[in-house]
Amino acid sequence: MIIYGIKNCDTMQKAFKYLDVKNIKYKFHNYKTEGIDKETIKRWFKYLPMEEIINSKSRTFKNLTTQEKADTSNSSKAVALLIKNTSMIKRPLLDLGEGKFLIGFNIEEWSILK
């Protein structure tokens, strides 16, 4: 299980605490220090709608140009934008393997974790 996000994000802190209290093992992928690669984003797009991955409420998204915002509906252009602007990726994004993911921190949804 890999949890993707930014270490200092409040929602990420809640997710880490939840996983730690439940003694659930995970690997943390920090966008700020590790970035994100094209193959990972393309795999997400294979299983998840782009609009679930792209945080259109983020300040980063709101600061995009009109054209860049329009580009988020094109998968190849969206990949490039997310690589450049990792803060636009909703977090946490939890990769459970086998094409299963959880996006955002929701205790009810996360209760499936063991």
Using CB atoms within 10 Å of the CB of residue 15, give its burial: 0 to 12 exposed, 13 to 18 middle, 19+ buried: buried
Catalytic residues: 9
What pLDDT, on a 0 to 100 scale, did the predictor assign at position 41?
97
Q: What is the pLDDT of residues 63-85, one digit of tens each?
A: 999 999 999 999 999 999 999 99
What pLDDT, on a 0 to 100 scale, did the predictor assign at position 114?
82
**Is the bond into 92 cis (omega within 30 degrees of 0)?**
yes
Tokens representing residue 60 in the block: 């980063």
Q: What is the pLDDT of residues 25-57, one digit of tens each?
A: 999 999 999 999 999 999 999 999 999 999 999
36/30 Cα distance (integer angstroms)? 9
Q: What is the pLDDT of residues 2-14, one digit of tens each?
A: 999 999 999 999 9
| Domains of the chain, residue spans | 2-110
Q: Tell whether domain 2-110 is in CATH 3.40.30.10.
A: yes
Q: 43: part of which helix (H) or strand (E)?
A: helix 38-47
